[in-house]
Amino acid sequence: MVTLENLFKFISSLQAVYSEKKLYLSELDSAIGDGDHGVNMARGFDAVVANWKANPPSNCEDAFKSISASLIKTVGGASGPLYGTMFRKMSLAVGKKTEFGLDEWIDGISKGIDGIMLIGKAQKGDKTMIDAWIPALEALKTAQNDRKTFAEALRECAVAAKNGAEATIPLIAKKGRASYLGERSIGHQDPGATSSAMMAAVAADTLI
Ligand code: ADP
Ligand code: MG
């Protein structure tokens, strides 16, 4: 079940994970980008938690809006507006509920991905965060069809996102800074797909 309490655990845990993995994510970005992705995500989730504490949301729509606004303001780069759009679309999908389950989570992620693809124009296989999110969504839908619990669905989603991120290694980047490298982007895991897979893993640990 997603509740405001669980969402706060989700963002607090993301703050800790991105702080811990800051160097790793920036190293991935150094190989095919400008080396700032870990720093961007750590700074972004510091702001997400600080803004939530300063102005605690009273429903899930406001919670996702708050996360979105903090990320757009502080992450910068390509990934800031993209993650910001994801959470903004989720806020609209979920509405003013104070708790919800798998159906709304799937609707939110699905609309979030549509938003990322609308502004970023990446397709599956372009070596971006989309390559983690699309298999993540497919896993959620499969789990829903199989009548799995929310916790099981989130675990399967996390595995699919991790596999999707790892599957970016042999791809040629078609969008974002990494695309400037053309074939030289082959052999490196996409940083944004990696931070997205981390997000799916944290969701499985905290939104249950
Ligand atoms: P920047 O590339 O501006 O330095 P970041 O380093 O924070 O921004 O984020 C890079 C990540 O953003 C990439 O690894 C990729 O996953 C994602 N990204 C970049 N452009 C796009 C796009 N057009 N669509 C989807 N994701 C993208
Ligand atoms: Mg970068």
Ligand 1: residue whose CA is nearest its atom 20: 176
Per-residue pLDDT 10s for the chain (208 aa) are: 999 999 999 999 999 999 999 999 999 999 999 999 999 999 999 999 999 999 999 999 999 999 999 999 999 999 999 999 999 999 999 999 999 999 999 999 999 999 999 999 999 999 999 999 999 999 999 999 999 999 999 999 999 999 999 999 999 999 999 999 999 999 999 999 999 999 999 999 999 8
The answer to whether the Cα torsion of 191, 193, 198, 199 is positive or negative is positive
pLDDT tens for 145-203 read 999 999 999 999 999 999 999 999 999 999 999 999 999 999 999 999 999 999 999 99
Determine contact, residues 98/3, Cβ cutoff 8 Å.
Answer: yes
The pLDDT assigned to 118 comes to: 98
Residue 144, pLDDT score:
98
Domain 2-206 class in CATH: mainly alpha
CA distance 199 to 183: 28
pLDDT of residue 205: 98
Whether 199 and 101 have beta carbons less than 8 Å apart is answered as no
Q: What is the DSSP string of 35-71?
A: S-HHHHHHHHHHHHHHHHHHS--SSHHHHHHHHHHHH
Instruction: Report DSSP state, residue 172.
Output: P
100 three-class SS:
strand
Ligand 1 centroid–CA 78 distance in Å is 5
Q: For residue 147, give every residue at least 6 positions away whose Cβ sits within 8 Å of its Cβ, in sequence order, or none.
A: none
Rounded (to 5) percent helix, strand, coil in the chain? 75, 0, 25
| Amino acid occupying residue 115 | G
SS3 188: coil
pTM of the model: 0.98
Q: Would you kindly state where each structural domain of the chain is located, as residue ranges?
A: 2-206
128 lines ligand 1 (CB under 6 A): yes
Which residue type is seen at 84?
Answer: G
Beta-carbon-side half-sphere exposure of residue 174 (alpha carbons within 13 Å) = 13
Q: Whose CA is nearest to atom 24 of ligand 1?
A: 120
Residue showing tokens 């993995």: 21
Tokens of 131: 């390559």
Question: Where are the extended beta strands (E) located within the chain?
Answer: 2-3, 99-100
- 76 alpha carbon – ligand 2 mean position (Å): 9
Question: Which residues are 2's β-sheet partners?
Answer: 100
Q: Which protein residue has the closest C-alpha to ligand 1 atom 14?
A: 192
